[in-house]
Amino acid sequence: MRRGRDRLIAIVWPVALGTLSGALLLLVLLPIAGLLFTSSPGQLLRGLRDPLVAPAIRLTIATTLASLALIVVCGTPLAWLIARGRGRAWRFLETVIQLPVVLPPAVAGVALLLAFGRRGLLGPELAVFGIGLPFSSAAVVLAQSFVAAPFYVQAAVAAFRRLDPDLLLVARTLSAAWPRVFFTVALPLSWPALAGGAALSWARALGEFGATLMFAGNLTGRTQTLPLTIYTALESDLQTAQSLSIILVAVAFALLVAIRAGGRR
Amino acid sequence: MRGLDVDIGGKVGKIGEQNGGLAIELAFSVSADAPLLLVGPNGAGKTTALMMILGALAPARGRIRLDGAALFDRDRAVDVPVERRRIGFVPQRYALFPHLDVLGNVAYGVRVRSRAERERRAREALAELDVLALAARRTAELSGGEMQRVALARALASRPRALLLDEPLAALDVSVRRDTRRFLADRLRALAIPTVLVTHDLADAEALAGDVAVIEAGAIAQRGRLTDLVAQPRTEFVRQFVAGRAP
């Protein structure tokens, strides 16, 4: 009796584990395979000749790099403050800054419009200076920064929290004021984690779609980044959409490998 | 008025934090002639006292003076920041900067513009402690005893006016501890700056030939030479703490 049950478990358990894992793996891998193997290299190259492609690549590189710069330059000090902050207000702030991660992109788009749009919170003030953010490349940068910043800030906060407090204190006893402690001890020691966070952030900015579409629109050369180009091309030329998708998959995969390699060090 | 004068008190931190809610009441002076050893059980407030002298924690009341100048004075709202107190510090696990080599560590606190001069003074400090040969090494390659000397060299290269050491020997193997203890005793005598040492090992007190202050629950239960503490303990706690030590 016992023996029979043992044998049953020995068969059913591995089969169950394998089937369920396999189903999820297929769900992830099949679409990637579809992207890679349904067109010949020649067709894919032809897809890249679409007039929408070149401006989209230029715009995507420019806006994501601008977003990354904004996120790193402002996010590093913010992360430092949160990591060193004591008390409930800082913990609350840490939660708030993570909000865009779980926010639906459509909601992010509406929120950005209601903040920076012509009839938004800052609309009248911006109009005074002749600044109309929506449907500009600047709007693309804002949308990307909004959704991508939490990834960098979170990584930086964790890195700064891991610093041995004795290192910072000893630096101060050696006459280093806070700015010097930050630049000569905290930053060099946190550098690998900050780079990993920046890479994640950049990957997220590269893929930004929903918030950009709603807040910045879909204007070729101005706000049409690669994900928006894919969306647009889908209606006319599936080949172009496929070619661009493969480029984004390759970049995303390279970033993922780099981040994991960096994390192991 | 030469030396370090401490008279501080009040509650520390919040309940739940390390040592949170501990009430401190500490008054002592240290001259340049002999180190003061703070001994006592864990949680008695020894490290907290060091943090307050360094300026990393602010006492709720009192004064800290070094060579007559106020570093901290609650009543006069004086609180000199850590980086301007010029108190050398060697923490328990030495806290060498892992991204700098040994020379870079020791040169970090040398306050001169010229890089060549900074490194010359760092080498000098390393030579003083017989570890000049380690100058180009990475800190991760050092043994415990070497780390301790480098950390001490780093503190001294900045020419501090007082020196604080937190359990300087606790991280060392028993085999090197005795030699290091003797070495430390020699150096501290030669230095002649006010030095406070936190330890839980009374063997340190015997070797370093300074006063011992037994701390119990945030206050000094008794201060004196170790032999006197053994011969005439003022409280039961002190008697038990120094029990078994040769008079």
User: Across chain B, what does the average pLDDT equal?
Assistant: 87
Percent of chain B beyond pLDDT 90? 45
Q: Is A13 a member of any domain?
A: no
User: Bigger pLDDT: A72 or A129?
Assistant: A72
- How many CB atoms are closer than 10 A to CB A174? 28
Per-residue pLDDT, averaged over B83-90, amounts to 94
Which one has a higher pLDDT value, A127 or B54? B54
User: In A71-216, which ranges are E strands?
Assistant: none
| More confident site: A128 or B193 | B193
Q: Which residues of A touch B87 (CB under 8 A)?
A: 173
Per-residue pLDDT tens digits for A133-147: 777 888 899 999 999
Mean pLDDT within A10-36: 92
Give this prediction's pTM: 0.86
Is the pLDDT at B246 greater than 70? The verdict is: no
In a domain, A40, yes or no: no
CB within 8 Å: A176 and B86: no
CB contact under 8 A, B87 and A173: yes
Cβ-nearest to A167 among B54, B87, B95 = B95
Residue B88: helix, strand or coil by DSSP? strand
Q: Is A39 part of a structural domain of the chain? A: no
Q: Are A193 and A147 in contact (CB under 8 A)?
A: no
**Count: domains in chain A:** 1
Q: What is A128-141 written as a DSSP string? A: HTT---TTSHHHHH
Q: What is the mean pLDDT of residues A49-53?
A: 80
pLDDT of residue B126: 93
Strand pairing report for B162-166 and B87-90: parallel
Average pLDDT, chain A: 88
How many of the other CB atoms lie within 10 Å of CB of B209?
14
**In this model, does residue B11 exceed pLDDT 70?**
yes
| Spatial distance between the Cα atoms of B133 and A141, rounded to a whole number of angstroms | 53
- Judging contacts by C-beta atoms under 8 Å, the chain A residues touching residue B196 are none
Least confident of A234-238, B82-86, B99-103: A234-238
Cβ within 8 Å of A, B 159-178: 160
Question: Does A17 reside within a domain?
Answer: no
In a domain, A45, yes or no: no
Query: So what's the pLDDT on residue A64?
Result: 94
CATH of the domain at A126: 1.10.3720.10
The reported pLDDT for the residue numbered A265 is 58
Q: How high is the pLDDT of residue B116?
A: 92
Any domain includes A124: yes
Residue A152, pLDDT > 70, answer: yes
Look at residue B202 and tell me whether its pLDDT is greater than 90: no
A30 in any annotated domain: no
Contact yes or no for B81 and A185 at CB 8 A:
no
**A72 phi and psi, to 5 degrees?**
-70, -45
Q: Closest CB to A167: pick one of B97, B111, B158.
A: B97
**So what's the pLDDT on residue B247?**
46
**A86, part of any domain:** yes
A153 pLDDT exceeds 70?
A: yes
Residue A144, Cβ density class (10 Å: 0-12 exposed, 13-18 middle, ≥19 buried): buried
Contact A131, B52 (CB under 8 A): no
B244/A contact by beta carbon, under 8 A: no
Q: Which residue of B has its CA nearest to A185?
A: B97
Q: In angstroms, rounded to a whole number, what is the distance separating the alpha carbons of residues A84 and A73?
A: 18
The answer to whether residue B111 neighbours chain A at the CB level (below 8 Å) is yes
Burial (CB < 10 A; 0-12, 13-18, 19+), residue B210, is buried
Range of the domain at A82: 52-264
Out of B86, B95, B160, closest to residue A166 by CB: B95
* Percent of chain A whose predicted confidence (pLDDT) is above 70: 95
Query: What tens digit of pLDDT does each residue of A67-95 get?
Result: 999 999 999 999 999 999 888 888 899 99
pLDDT band at B20 (very low <50, low <70, confident <90, very high): low
Chain A residues close to B83, C-beta within 8 Å:
172-177
Q: What is the model's pLDDT at position A20?
A: 96
